[in-house]
Structure 1
């Protein structure tokens, strides 16, 4: 059976581009796989929003991220790309981050050149470390891997801080340092989106599309035509869940009854199917029948 890390390397270097949706727990990871997507993104913003109830401003810890990643990996069979923020410290911290997330079940991690604590890539007021320090982090991450197929994705947030030319210079330096894919965060118009791949040839590129964020939305086919391998949709699932939950709660509060809530929630059967109740029952029967036979 092909490993998840090899699966992801094949996707990175394949002939077709793909959408990478974000998950923030085991349930949403499972939903993404069952919807037919080829890989899952463990979104740092989504985990902070859903698990902590706070904005994406670097409040989550490595331990918290690793716990969620292990839950996701346990219930899915497709590669898991983990948002590892800044690596949670310097190059030495980065090595520990790689080891922990690799053991938790990640097939790849994305690291960025922001100052710690970081901010969401589409927030204002970001700061970045030197490219030299980021190169050291990339090299430390590569050296810490146990599996040579474990991918390191390097993101730069310099476009918003120092401009387009600096972001491209940094991205090319991160490519030379050994990153498997590059991610120039938050281009602000179609011209920038189209220009980035022209300056970063021969390496898979990620385009992060945030509904309502700084980057204009394009389709997967449009992104592919411009030179992107991955279209990251990190928080589409989260925001769908927020809206659906809020609507169900509003109806429940308005009516003080569940009579009209059914169109806002999934069926009982759908819920049990998603969470594999039938599989659990089969296992219970199997081990009940076999008990005492050894």
Structure 2
């Protein structure tokens, strides 16, 4: 766990790009946390795939996701921005979702303006709700978090793909006026579009970097110079994991053993990552109390 971590607002006030890996299960969280990232991002795509084995297409429920939020946030003091999809319904659902994510320990919630059922922002077939409906959701979200200004509302618009960048920018402006703390214009399709987004707003902005997705990948320095405060890499972890497992299991299937396979973590070190050192220390401390 990170010691004495900064809040998201404190991180963004430093005017230095915050890079957040996507965490999707407890192992990915522990690996990222050990490396000392200042912020983590709970990816909806990866969490739904890992937890349910399903696509991120509106199939996960609020109960599914708040369960994961509580597990992740309970295991680290590093602030985590958690994907809240569309709020899982109407305005009452949004209130329930924001309150639940707050109780579960999230540092911020991402809400998006897609129709339900939503879809991953770098896939086809996304449709958005009227801008005013999303404005209302943001107002409910900000009212629900109340005086807890450390809990940030991240407003995402998926309008770019279907309606163009101008419409996405207009929506983002409306969401900012409604009370959003952070703006997330999803799926810009060129470096020029990223630069336009950065020039348009003087508030914390999210760049969603999906390896193989719709948005190009500038360097961290370039994103910071464009005006972005946060670069999330939601897919890097599960894509790397999937690739590694494909190779490891293929080797096992073909050879029947793992004697020559060396691209793995050290077992003892991995056991310490998961928490076995505490178990070993406990056993040593209380060994004398064991029944003879």
**1:47-66 superposed matches below 5 A:** 47-66=47-66
Note the 1:116-195 alignment, pairs <5 A. Answer: 116-145=116-145, 147-195=148-196
How does the TM-score come out when normalised to structure 2?
Answer: 0.93
Residue 274 of structure 1: aligned partner: 273
- Distance in 2 separating the partners of 1:290 and 1:143: 53
Structure 1 residues 102 and 3, CA gap change in structure 2 (3 angstroms): farther
CA distance in structure 2 between the aligned counterparts of 1:266 and 1:106, rounded to whole angstroms: 30
1:213 aligns with 2:219: no
Contact 2:3/2:77 (<8 A) preserved: no
Give 4+ residue runs of structure 1 displaced > 6 Å after superposition: 1-4, 287-291
Q: Deviation at 1:65?
A: 1.1
Q: Write the distance in 1 (CA, Å) between the matches of 2:288 and 2:107.
A: 37
Quote the Cα distance in structure 1 between the aligned partners of 2:3 and 2:257.
50
Q: Report if aligned partners of 2:8, 2:107 keep a CA contact under 8 Å in 1.
A: yes
Query: Cα distance, 1:2 vs. partner?
Result: 9.2
Cα displacement string for residues 195-250 of structure 1 (whole angstroms, at most 9, x for unaligned residues): 112222x2100010111111111111110001101111011011111111111100
Q: Is the 8 A contact 1:156 1:167 kept in 2?
A: yes
In 1, Cα distance between the equivalents of 2:132 and 2:3?
Answer: 36
Check whether the contact 1:57–1:117 (CA below 8 A) recurs between aligned residues: yes
How far, CA to CA, are the matches of 1:230 and 1:243 in structure 2?
26
* 1:18 CA drift (Å): 1.2
Q: Which residue of 1 aligns with 2:263?
A: 264
Of stretches 37-46 and 64-73 in structure 1, the one that deviates more from structure 2 is 64-73
Distance 2:78 2:12 in 1: 13
CA distance in 1, matches of 2:127, 2:278: 48
Instruction: Give the drift of 1:286.
Output: 4.9
Q: 1:198 corresponds to which residue?
A: 199
1:114 aligns with 114
Contact conserved, 1:247 with 1:264, CA < 8 A, in 2? no
CA distance in structure 2 between the partners assigned to 1:35 and 1:160 by the alignment = 35
What is the CA distance between 1:258 and its match in structure 2? 2.1
TM-score (norm 1): 0.93
Q: Distance in 1 between matches of 2:230 and 2:15?
A: 12
1:26–1:68 contact (8 Å) kept in structure 2: no
RMSD after superposition = 1.9
Does the residue aligned with 1:264 lie in a helix, a strand or coil?
coil
Q: Which residue of 2 aligns with 1:27?
A: 27
Q: Is the 8 A contact 1:43 1:82 kept in 2?
A: yes
Count, aligned residues: 288
Provide the C-alpha distance between the structure 2 equivalents of 1:139 and 1:288, rounded to a whole number of angstroms: 56
Question: Is the 1:112–1:155 Cα contact (8 Å) retained in structure 2?
Answer: yes
CA distance in 2, matches of 1:240, 1:2: 27
Offset at 1:288?
6.8
Gaps of 5+ in 2: none
Displacement, 1:68? 1.4
Q: 1:92-129 CA distances to partner (integer Å, 9 max, x unpaired)?
A: 10110011111112110110000011011111111000
